[in-house]
Amino acid sequence: MRLDYPANIKIILVPCTGKVDVVHLLRAIQKGADGAYCVGCLEGSCHYNEGNLRCRERVNHVRDLLEEVGIEGDRVRMYNLSSGEGPTFAQYATEMTEHIKKLGPNPLNTKLKN
């Protein structure tokens, strides 16, 4: 399937979103990513039972942590879809990009540059 989505999305492969750690997401934001999101299996159909649910918890935790230090928590999100849903993947990529554009650049970047 050849579907368009913004080029600013770069994918890092993990065996399961349950492998994604808080530090991975924080590192991305710390290093200047404007946003980071995890894409896992649909809830209830995790290949490893419930890795995606754990990931969602961690994403929520990271969002809280970011808010605490004055960065919009909503720069980090969790999406779910099944492997057959290419168009949905593209839709989420676009949605996330639009959403991050509205939030503007990562404040850490602005600070780093100034």
Partner 1 sequence: MISPKLVEVGRHTNIELITCSEVKDVEGDPGNFAVTLSNHPRYIDPVKCTGCGECARHCPVTAVNGYNLKLDDRRATYIEYAQAVPLAFSIDTDTCIGCGLCENMCIAKAVEYDDTERETRLTVGSVVMAAGSRGFDPSGLDYLGYGRYPNVVTSEEFERILSASGPYFGHLMRPLDREEPKRIAWLQCVGSRDKNRCGNGYCSSVCCMYAVKEAMIAKEHAHGDLDCVVFNMDMRTFGKDYELYYNRAKDKDGVTFLKARIHSVTEVPDRGDLIVKYADDTGRMQEEIFSMVVLSIGLQVQPDAAELAQRLGIELNEYNFVKTDTFAPVTTSRPGFYTCGVLQGPKDIPGSITEASAAAWAAGADLVEGRGTDIPKIEVPEQRDVTQEEPRIGVFVCNCGINIGGIVDVPAVREYAATLPGVAFSDDNLFTCSQDTQDKIKDVITEHRLNRVVVASCSPKTHAAMFMETLEACGLNKYLFEMANIRNQNSWIHSADSDVATQKAKDLVRMSVARAARLRTLNEKVVPINKKALVIGGGIAGMNAAIGLGDQGFETVLLERESELGGFARNLHHTIEGGDIQAYVNETVDKVNAHDKVEVITKARITGAEGFKGSFSTEIEMGEAKEKRAIDHGVILVATGANEYQPTEFLYGEDDRVVTQVELTDRLHDKGASDLDAVVMIQCVGSRNEEHENCSRICCQSAVKNALEIKKQSPDTQVFVLYRDIRTYGLLEDYYTEAREKGVIFIRFDKDTPPRVTAEADALRVTVKDHILQQDVEIRTDLLALSAGLRAADTDDVSSIMKFNRNPEGYFIEAHVKLRPVDMPSEGVFLCGTAHGPKLITETIAQAQAAASRATTFLAKDAIKLSAITAKVDTEHCVKCLTCVRSCPFGVPQFNTEKMEIEINEALCHGCGVCTAVCPRQVIGLSFYEDDQLMCKIDALLDAEVV
3-state helix, strand, coil in the chain (%, to 5): 50, 10, 40
Main-chain phi, psi angles of 80, to 5 degrees? -130, 140
**Least separation in angstroms between CB 105 and partner 1:** 11
Question: Tell me, what amino acid is at 99?
Answer: H
Selected range binding partner 1 among 22-30, 59-67, 72-80, 97-105, rule: CB under 8 A: 22-30
Residue 63 is a binding residue for partner 1 (CB under 8 A): no
5 in contact with partner 1 (CB under 8 A): yes
Is residue 101 involved in binding partner 1 (CB under 8 A)? no
Residue 69 binding partner 1, by CB under 8 A: no
